[in-house]
Amino acid sequence: MERITISLDEALAREFDALIARRGYQNRSEAFRDLLREHLEAARQSEAAGGAGQCVANLSYVYDHHARDLAERLTRLQHEHHDLTVATMHAHLDHDNCLESVILRGPTASVRAFADALTAERGVRHGRINIVSVDVANSAHAHGYRPRGGATQQLHHLHLKPKD
């Protein structure tokens, strides 16, 4: 680990310490590392030409489940983008509103386009996406899997490593 030293004026240091306390960090270093990672990821996202590269993402949104055919439209969009959609979690907030969180992975431009299309649906509110750039491991490979009473099969998949 490399050690760096920074100087802050007293007011900024007090404000930073208050943030650390509110968020429950154990020390300034871990808080600073998280802020730096967040800033570097934002820079990667803004500098990526046309959304090049691969990512994993979490798209969360609230919607009115009484809005005409909205639940069906949202499900159809997810099915149309099954190559990007890994999983969906659905929670009922009250009699009218649902919260969904969709885990996505794939080309950053495609993930952004899907998120934009979904959150633009009439009746969807409070849509936010958190995108994390990833490196795709060297190549696809397989792991052996033996179903009960069956022969060993090879399961092929990629490994995605978040960029630091």
Instruction: Express each pLDDT in 134-164 by its tens digit.
Output: 887 755 566 666 677 777 766 666 677 777 6
Q: What percent of the chain has pLDDT over 70?
A: 84
pLDDT in tens, 45-70: 666 555 568 899 999 999 998 888 99
Q: Are 31 and 55 members of one domain? A: no
More confident residue, 26 or 153: 26
In a domain, 112, yes or no: yes
Q: Are 120 and 54 members of one domain? A: yes
The alpha-helical segments, DSSP class H, found in the chain are 10-23, 28-47, 70-80, 108-119
Q: Are 80 and 128 members of one domain? A: yes
Q: Are 60 and 33 members of one domain? A: no
pLDDT in tens, 93-125: 999 999 999 999 999 989 999 999 999 998 999
- How many of the other CB atoms lie within 10 Å of CB of 74? 23
CA separation, residue 105 to residues 6, 61, 80 (Å)? 36, 17, 14
How high is the pLDDT of residue 142? 62
CA-to-CA distance for 116 and 73, rounded, in angstroms? 14
Q: Report, as an integer, the average pLDDT of 19-24.
A: 90
Q: What are phi and psi of 88, to 5 degrees?
A: -135, 135
Q: Are 57 and 43 members of one domain? A: no
> 52, 77, 24, 11: which is closest to 136 by C-alpha?
52
Q: Are 93 and 118 members of one domain? A: yes
How high is the pLDDT of residue 39? 78
In a domain, 30, yes or no: yes
Q: How confident is the model at residue 89 (pLDDT cuts 50, 70, 90)?
A: very high
> 28, 26, 4, 3: which is closest to 15 by C-alpha?
28
Q: Are 22 and 54 members of one domain? A: no
Residue 15: give the domain boundaries: 10-47
Say which CATH number the domain at 131 has.
Answer: 3.30.70.1150
How many folded domains does the chain comprise? Answer: 2
In a domain, 63, yes or no: yes
How high is the pLDDT of residue 136? 77
